[in-house]
Structures are given as C-alpha cells and as structure tokens.
Amino acid sequence: MKPLMVLLLIFFASTKICNAQFISGDDKLHFGTGALISATTYAMVYSITKNKKKAFWYSLGTSTLAGFAKEAYDGTQENNKFDTGEMIATSLGGLTATVTINLFVGNRRNKRVSFVPIE
C-alpha cells in the first residue's frame, strides 16, 4: 500500500510540470471568435430564410472556413506555421454557438392566449 501511495504522490506532484493539456489564451480567443462568427451568420441566415437547417450548416461552415483561412494565412508568415489546434478551437466555438442557438430558435408556437375575466 505504501509504494502505491508514493507512486500516486509522485504522479500528482509531476502534473504541475507537464503541460500536455494546456489551453493557451490564443486558443480561447479562437474559440470566442468562432462563436461570434457563427452566431452572427446564424442570425443573418435564419432571419432571411427562416430555415434552421440551412442556418445551422451555413454558420458552422463559416466559422470553420474562417479558422482555416486564418491558419492558412499564418502558415505563409515568417516564423509561423499552420496550427490545427487553433483551427479546431475556432470550429468548436462555432459548433458550440450554432448548437446553442439552434436549440432555442424557432420553437415558439403561435398560441392564442385567452384572458378570462376575474369575477
């Protein structure tokens, strides 16, 4: 039991040194930008077409295309490279916003509300 505790202590103590799952501030910005682009595209497409499926795919595609275009541009710059992690962060931001908006848009039914007079 004691060797197991020592191994667990070493394992958890060394996790501060390892940054395998480190999320940088730049990835957070890419996520937020993807969400903003996707939400704007969804609102525009849905207001024009009133089609949830078309708005979903257009907004997701736009955020993914924006992430790809940004990373393709970064790949052409000196001392920079195409970073798939940042492209995925932009796409995931777009997916998050698209799914969230898709859940709450267009679910209203035109119900008539009848007012009953209180006697």
**Is residue 111 in some structural domain?**
no
**Is residue 53 in some structural domain?**
yes
pTM of the model: 0.70
Q: Among candidates 67, 57, 49, which has minimal Cα distance to 101?
A: 57
Helix and strand totals (H; E) in the chain = 4, 0
**Is residue 93 in some structural domain?**
yes
**Is residue 45 in some structural domain?**
yes
**Is residue 16 in some structural domain?**
no
Structure confidence at residue 2 (pLDDT): 72
**Is residue 26 in some structural domain?**
no
**48 token code pair:** 């024009």
**Is residue 51 in some structural domain?**
yes
Q: Tens digit of pLDDT for each residue in 19-47?
A: 556 677 788 899 999 999 999 999 999 99
pLDDT at 114 over 70: no
- Into how many domains does the chain fold? 1
pLDDT at 61 over 80: yes
Q: Which domain holds residue 37?
A: 31-104
**Is residue 78 in some structural domain?**
yes
